[in-house]
Chain A
Amino acid sequence: MSDDIHEQPLPLKRREFLKLVGVATAATAGAGCLEFPPPNELIQPYVTAPENIIPGVATYYASTCRECPAACGLHVKTREGRAIKLEGNPSHPVNLGSLCARGQSALQGLYNPDRHAHPKQRQADGSFKEITWEEAEALLVEKLAAPAGAVQFWTGQETGTRAALYDAFIGALGSADRIVHEPFAWEALREGNRLAFGRAEIPTYDFAAAGSVFTLGADFLETWLSPVEYARTFATRHGGSTTDAGRLVAFESRLSLTGSNADEWVAIKPGTEALAALAMAQVIVAEGLAKGSTGGLDLTPYAPANVAEQVGVPAEVLVRLAREFAANGPGLAIAGGVQAQSARATHAVVAANVLTSVGGGLGSALHFGRTLDLGRTHAPRDLAPAIERMNGGGVGVLLVHGTNPAYSLPGALGFAAAAGKVPFKVSFSIDPDETAQLCDLILPDHHPLESWGDAQAWTGVRSLLQPAMRPVFKTKSTPDVLLAAAKTLGRTPGLLAAATWRDVLTAAWGGPGAAWDAALAAGGSFAVASAAPALALSGGLAGVGFSVAELGGDAAGTPLVVYASPNMYDGRGANKPWLQELPDPVTKVVWDHWVEIHPDTMTKLGLKRGDHVALKTPAGTLETAAYDYIGIRPDVFAVATGQGHTADGGRYWKRGGNVAGFLPATYDDASGGLAYVAVKTTLAKTGKKYKLAYLGGDPYTGGQSRQMGRGIAQAIPLTVVTGKADAHGAAAHGEGGHGDPAMHKPGFVGSPVPADPIASAAKEAPNSAYALHAKHKWGMVVDLNSCNGCQACVIACSAENNVAFVGKEQVDKGREMMWLRIERFYEEHDGKLEVRHVPVMCQHCGAAPCESVCPVYATYHNPEGLNAMIYNRCVGTRYCSNNCPYKVRAFNWFHYDFPAPLNWQLNPDVTVRDKGVMEKCTFCVQRIRDAKDHAKDEARNVRDGEMVTACQQTCPAQAIVFGDLMDSESRVRQLVDHDRGYKIFEEINTYPAVTYLKKVTRDVPV
């Protein structure tokens, strides 16, 4: 092989070759660095700049959140004409600047890549074809001019002017058939209040005024009525650490997020809420502790001894809780929520009102000073006649806006089949949902963030919606489409005479002028009634026959509890990747659907987590994955709403089963509301294997759900806090490490900690160049007594900091990117389950283990105490992540896409990281710099409270405080030395800049 290339002598000697390589490399490298980049970017100015817009400076528009009926106020942050972040409107009385995770995620509804991008018409072959708006509106008018029957208009819950316009439109067409369908409506609550107080309204629930809150299924921290408002008022009383700090007891068969915040969880049988409440009321009355009437109700039959077995709770527990309720007044009992929505849902509301009455909460914790206006809705039982009209061929045109009955109504009601008999169906849906798929014409509405509108929250509190940006797609405002159609049809009575929807709205607000401008700037008009008028039960409750809800289905089956998903809500969150990747707050499962079963029951049934099972009811079969959940009665199964979409259009939402679809059509007897807790079910393995993904590892055996004595989520008994007797002893700190003697060793926790090295260096050498910038030391305090684990902060953080979502498969490999997570720990003492939530973000350690191992100084300690991360220096060794005791660093294993136009949401002030780069919480350094920028403009120092991190900004419980630790007057400085303060893993001397305040456990037996 003499001609082999490897046998030929090299033309160069080895030494010369190396020289050449060296010089060539240097030359290339030198040229690469020195070469000036060729211009490859355009800079295009506005032709005429919109008023008040300066590129690079954020503009805020006040608007209203429409992700649930609560109507929280918004400030939409826009940059160069694009909405990039939602923040609560601080002057809006409902949410006072906070927002929940679903509200934060509205941006992903706005920029959802699957939205209807233009009008569409169904073809003969069933597919949809893009048409122009002219064609679409002409077709609508043609069909409405001569409908082959009556016109039926289905809408979602609307308050304010839009509802009036819809009514006017349907009226002009000679029909009164406007059907209002809201899946989580409040029929039982209204009916229960009508029976108890003679007012079919939703009162004010003032959790700040309640010494004791007993919730019977109402998940008021997640989905019930107005969660952001309730989380705030609840935290003000329950988050206190004085002797009158509030107590919360949750009566629910499946522990919800609200239940996980309760001081005691009482796992009653499903459908027995009314009896449990009455039993406790009976004890209070019998023991002479009652502070209010029972409305003429004889409670003797409901004595704990009589109902304990039905309720599934020992009589002595009910007696003890009744005494505590009476002793820690005023007492507020609330019933409702999807989990309490059984055939006796109204009775549960009445019984809760009776308990509130005898607990002294009427007129203070519960009053009608300002009612929550959630608009008129049709009870699902009343929908049957409307569906029957469709079936009978009497409906010629079906219009659907803002509701998805093909998904959210029980399949047994037969909406889809009935709609098939309507000759012409029009959808105004923004999303390609199941109902839109049935329609012949799709006229997509603007997203609420692109729309004009208004909404009523409380009495006297009216919120405005204004477009925060131009429409993303070729959509058209539905009210304008209706106005134009009415004009073409020549039917323009009343409101319909106006030229545009904006004119209608402006007129409803008193016409253009200073008042309108002021309302627009403020986000609405807020005349809050502050009085809490006295209230008493009306008599005549004796006629209400309280009993246990009977469950249908197989008599030998297991009761099925349905609960509202905190992330997906009624299904509207399912196509938003932020909400899919956001773990369920208690199970920590992501991107999925599951049935919760008690671990003991799992063993009995021979099930393992992830086994694929089929749940059968008379109405259908639901296939899903089994999940062993410690927070559930052994004799029930629980499933969440919101997943199981079937429409092809949504790329993120086809996961698990649709719970609503497989429920039988059964109703609350008194109100006609849909009974979500209605059946017993039988479970069979399908034999298929399934994998659930959850944040951060195995939720039972791994380190995630048990503290293993590490003292991550510490707590302190209320008696110790208030008595101060033992504040520095073992008892004060001991709760953190239940059962681990190491945590009780003197000097282990609670030992004096040396001062932060950075702060002291700056103090010792005030004139050094190093200290020149050491004017600030940023720090954070998280009050675990206020935090309820709602995860609003997680989405706010992702939105602010361009954090990527990675999908189920990557989360399963532990590659989630979230900069902030809520750890959920189970504690068990004396057989009682206690849940603790701890938000964990980068602790910005004073002596950070990550910094010393970075070979390229990509992460370093900045002179203001931030543990900073320089992305373009990072080479991706991941040493820092390996060395981080808090697991707060996230590595970009791949390029994670934001499919257009989701990428329009990205914050231009924050680098978008790509493959191979490590990232983590920066304490929102861009917000710190922004605050400094403003301060410099005004030639002053930054003020306390000016630097607000995204997580702190949105926290409904106001559990997070951020600020300058070197400012002795700052709030964060005051709180750092709080008696309840501790640092996670203090013993490893990382000097974290994040201080946690211990949760206060209630341990006050009467």
Chain B
Amino acid sequence: MTRTRFVLLLGFALTVGGLFFAASSLQAAKPTDTLNPGIPTKPTGPAIEQPIAYSHELHAGKLGMDCGYCHTNVAKSGIANIPNVSTCMGCHTYVKKASGQKEPSAEIAKLTKYYEDGVSIPWVNIHQLPDHANFNHKRHVKAGVACQTCHGPVETMPVVYPVVKLQMGFCVDCHKANRENVKAPASLDCVVCHK
């Protein structure tokens, strides 16, 4: 029977561990600002290799570029937009080398090739919503939710990884906390997301 006990214990430990792990990431900070209760930092998923080794750490962190400089439509469209290839080329038509390097960057060369071939870059979606859920990006940005509240400290990530499980509990917790928010009252009605 030792084998059975072992299986039992292992199952129990995994379950409890999993639940604790999930809970810890959601209770990372005590709400002071209800819209932005604190930025979770622990990865909840893998950092995925992208077709171009684009670094948010460099652009948004070290260079201090505003998110909206490239993600131009975040406050204009219900669905999240990522920059057109032409947006990257706005700078990289001139910037061909990484700073301090003598040789042209291979990654910028990849970007240039995509642009010149007229081919879209097949970025892998890291922040994927569950099916049947409808998330209005514009409304959240306009309400004052910081990018980092859902996307994590992207400006510190050389390769983007998820820090929030974009699942119903995460959404509902925030909506509950902001139900009476005078500036941006959040709704708990199901059809707000499911339609």
| Residues in A lying within 8 Å of B, measured CB to CB | 11-12, 16, 19-20, 23-24, 26-27, 30-31, 34, 36-49, 54-57, 769, 772-773, 860, 862-864, 866, 868, 870-873, 909-911, 922, 925-926, 929, 933, 936-937
Across the interface, do A55 and B73 meet the contact criterion of CB distance under 8 Å? yes
In the bound complex, what is the Cα–Cα distance between A26 and B78 (angstroms)?
Answer: 37
In the assembled complex, the CB of B115 is this many whole angstroms from the nearest CB of chain A, namely: 6
Across the interface, do B120 and A30 meet the contact criterion of CB distance under 8 Å? no
Across the interface, do B120 and A45 meet the contact criterion of CB distance under 8 Å? yes
Given A19-B8, A47-B120, is A772 in contact with B185 using a C-beta cutoff of 8 Å?
yes
Across the interface, do B130 and A43 meet the contact criterion of CB distance under 8 Å? no
Across the interface, do B187 and A911 meet the contact criterion of CB distance under 8 Å? no
A870 CB contacts on chain B under 8 angstroms: 190-191, 194
Other-chain residue from B19, B48, B83, B180 in contact with A30 (beta carbon distance below 8 A): B19
Across the interface, do B124 and A54 meet the contact criterion of CB distance under 8 Å? no
Apart from the given pairs A27-B12, A57-B77, A925-B195, 14 other A-B contacts in the complex at a CB distance below 8 Å: A20-B4, A20-B7, A23-B8, A23-B12, A37-B130, A42-B124, A46-B84, A55-B81, A56-B77, A772-B185, A870-B190, A926-B195, A929-B136, A933-B138
Other-chain residue from A24, A48, A910 in contact with B84 (beta carbon distance below 8 A): A48
A909 CB contacts on chain B under 8 angstroms: 134, 195
B120 CB contacts on chain A under 8 angstroms: 44-47
Q: Is B56 interfacial (CB-CB < 8 Å)?
A: no
In the bound complex, what is the Cα–Cα distance between A345 and B115 (angstroms)?
Answer: 65
Other-chain residue from A31, A863, A910 in contact with B18 (beta carbon distance below 8 A): A31
Given A769-B180, A936-B139, is A27 in contact with B11 using a C-beta cutoff of 8 Å?
yes
Across the interface, do A56 and B73 meet the contact criterion of CB distance under 8 Å? yes
In the bound complex, what is the Cα–Cα distance between A632 and B78 (angstroms)?
Answer: 53
Across the interface, do B179 and A769 meet the contact criterion of CB distance under 8 Å? yes
Q: Is B22 interfacial (CB-CB < 8 Å)?
A: yes
A46 CB contacts on chain B under 8 angstroms: 84-86, 120
Chain B residues numbered 64-96 whose CB sits less than 8 Å from any CB in chain A: 73, 76-79, 81-86
In the assembled complex, the CB of B171 is this many whole angstroms from the nearest CB of chain A, namely: 14
Q: List 17 A-B contacts (CB under 8 A).
A: A20-B7, A27-B11, A31-B14, A37-B128, A39-B45, A45-B123, A55-B73, A57-B78, A769-B180, A772-B185, A868-B191, A872-B131, A872-B132, A911-B132, A929-B136, A929-B191, A933-B136
B136 CB contacts on chain A under 8 angstroms: 929, 933
Across the interface, do A866 and B191 meet the contact criterion of CB distance under 8 Å? yes
A57 CB contacts on chain B under 8 angstroms: 76-78
Other-chain residue from A47, A862, A926 in contact with B190 (beta carbon distance below 8 A): A862
Other-chain residue from A11, A16, A20, A871 in contact with B132 (beta carbon distance below 8 A): A871
In the bound complex, what is the Cα–Cα distance between A57 and B131 (angstroms)?
Answer: 20
Q: Is B151 interfacial (CB-CB < 8 Å)?
A: no
A19 CB contacts on chain B under 8 angstroms: 8
Given A30-B15, A772-B179, A870-B190, is A47 in contact with B79 using a C-beta cutoff of 8 Å?
no
In the bound complex, what is the Cα–Cα distance between A27 and B14 (angstroms)?
Answer: 7
In the assembled complex, the CB of A38 is this many whole angstroms from the nearest CB of chain B, namely: 8
Given A34-B19, A769-B180, A772-B180, is A39 in contact with B128 using a C-beta cutoff of 8 Å?
yes
Chain B residues numbered 114-137 whose CB sits less than 8 Å from any CB in chain A: 114-115, 118-126, 128, 130-134, 136-137
Other-chain residue from B84, B165, B191 in contact with A47 (beta carbon distance below 8 A): B84
Given A27-B15, A36-B165, A48-B86, is A42 in contact with B122 using a C-beta cutoff of 8 Å?
yes
In the bound complex, what is the Cα–Cα distance between A658 and B41 (angstroms)?
Answer: 69
B189 CB contacts on chain A under 8 angstroms: 773, 862-864, 868
In the bound complex, what is the Cα–Cα distance between A862 and B76 (angstroms)?
Answer: 27
Across the interface, do B84 and A54 meet the contact criterion of CB distance under 8 Å? no
B85 CB contacts on chain A under 8 angstroms: 45-48
Across the interface, do B77 and A24 meet the contact criterion of CB distance under 8 Å? no
In the bound complex, what is the Cα–Cα distance between A36 and B180 (angstroms)?
Answer: 31
**Chain B interface residue number, banded:** 35 or more
Closest A-B pairs by Cβ, 6 of them:
A56-B79, A56-B77, A872-B132, A44-B120, A48-B86, A41-B125
In the bound complex, what is the Cα–Cα distance between A577 and B80 (angstroms)?
Answer: 34
Given A55-B77, A922-B195, A926-B195, is A23 in contact with B187 using a C-beta cutoff of 8 Å?
no
B81 CB contacts on chain A under 8 angstroms: 45, 54-56
In the bound complex, what is the Cα–Cα distance between A870 and B134 (angstroms)?
Answer: 12
Q: Is B152 interfacial (CB-CB < 8 Å)?
A: no
In the bound complex, what is the Cα–Cα distance between A37 and B85 (angstroms)?
Answer: 27
Closest to B189 in A: A862
In the assembled complex, the CB of B101 is this many whole angstroms from the nearest CB of chain A, namely: 26
B48 CB contacts on chain A under 8 angstroms: 39
Other-chain residue from B44, B73, B128, B142 in contact with A41 (beta carbon distance below 8 A): B128
In the bound complex, what is the Cα–Cα distance between A54 and B75 (angstroms)?
Answer: 11
B21 CB contacts on chain A under 8 angstroms: 34
B22 CB contacts on chain A under 8 angstroms: 34
In the assembled complex, the CB of A985 is this many whole angstroms from the nearest CB of chain B, namely: 25
In the bound complex, what is the Cα–Cα distance between A24 and B13 (angstroms)?
Answer: 11
A42 CB contacts on chain B under 8 angstroms: 122-125
Q: Is B192 interfacial (CB-CB < 8 Å)?
A: yes
In the assembled complex, the CB of B162 is this many whole angstroms from the nearest CB of chain A, namely: 7
In the bound complex, what is the Cα–Cα distance between A20 and B195 (angstroms)?
Answer: 40
In the assembled complex, the CB of A773 is this many whole angstroms from the nearest CB of chain B, namely: 6
In the bound complex, what is the Cα–Cα distance between A933 and B77 (angstroms)?
Answer: 10
In the assembled complex, the CB of B185 is this many whole angstroms from the nearest CB of chain A, namely: 6
Across the interface, do B126 and A45 meet the contact criterion of CB distance under 8 Å? no
In the assembled complex, the CB of B34 is this many whole angstroms from the nearest CB of chain A, namely: 15
Closest to B194 in A: A870
Closest to A46 in B: B84
Across the interface, do A868 and B162 meet the contact criterion of CB distance under 8 Å? no
Closest to B83 in A: A45
A12 CB contacts on chain B under 8 angstroms: 4
Closest to B193 in A: A870
In the assembled complex, the CB of B194 is this many whole angstroms from the nearest CB of chain A, namely: 5
Across the interface, do A26 and B191 meet the contact criterion of CB distance under 8 Å? no
In the bound complex, what is the Cα–Cα distance between A769 and B181 (angstroms)?
Answer: 11
A37 CB contacts on chain B under 8 angstroms: 128, 130
In the assembled complex, the CB of B168 is this many whole angstroms from the nearest CB of chain A, namely: 10
Across the interface, do A24 and B128 meet the contact criterion of CB distance under 8 Å? no
In the bound complex, what is the Cα–Cα distance between A911 and B7 (angstroms)?
Answer: 42
Given A12-B4, A44-B121, is A862 in contact with B191 using a C-beta cutoff of 8 Å?
yes
Closest to B187 in A: A773
A24 CB contacts on chain B under 8 angstroms: 11
In the assembled complex, the CB of A778 is this many whole angstroms from the nearest CB of chain B, namely: 11
Other-chain residue from B44, B190, B195 in contact with A36 (beta carbon distance below 8 A): B44
In the bound complex, what is the Cα–Cα distance between A974 and B15 (angstroms)?
Answer: 58
In the assembled complex, the CB of B88 is this many whole angstroms from the nearest CB of chain A, namely: 9
Across the interface, do B82 and A45 meet the contact criterion of CB distance under 8 Å? yes
In the bound complex, what is the Cα–Cα distance between A862 and B191 (angstroms)?
Answer: 8
Given A41-B125, A47-B120, is A26 in contact with B142 using a C-beta cutoff of 8 Å?
no
B191 CB contacts on chain A under 8 angstroms: 862, 866, 868, 870, 922, 925, 929
Closest to A928 in B: B191
B82 CB contacts on chain A under 8 angstroms: 43, 45
B121 CB contacts on chain A under 8 angstroms: 44-45
Across the interface, do B15 and A23 meet the contact criterion of CB distance under 8 Å? yes
Across the interface, do A49 and B194 meet the contact criterion of CB distance under 8 Å? no
In the bound complex, what is the Cα–Cα distance between A909 and B44 (angstroms)?
Answer: 29
B45 CB contacts on chain A under 8 angstroms: 36, 38-39
Closest to A22 in B: B11
Across the interface, do A47 and B12 meet the contact criterion of CB distance under 8 Å? no
Interface string of B154-195 (1 = CB under 8 A from A): 000000001001000000000000011000010101111011
Chain B CB count within 10 A is highest, among A20, A27, A871, A926, for A27
Closest to B165 in A: A36
Other-chain residue from A45, A54, A929 in contact with B192 (beta carbon distance below 8 A): A929
Other-chain residue from B124, B130, B165, B194 in contact with A911 (beta carbon distance below 8 A): B194
In the bound complex, what is the Cα–Cα distance between A382 and B119 (angstroms)?
Answer: 55
A20 CB contacts on chain B under 8 angstroms: 4, 7-8, 11
In the assembled complex, the CB of B180 is this many whole angstroms from the nearest CB of chain A, namely: 7
In the bound complex, what is the Cα–Cα distance between A206 and B4 (angstroms)?
Answer: 87
In the bound complex, what is the Cα–Cα distance between A527 and B171 (angstroms)?
Answer: 53
Given A31-B14, A860-B190, A936-B142, is A39 in contact with B125 using a C-beta cutoff of 8 Å?
yes
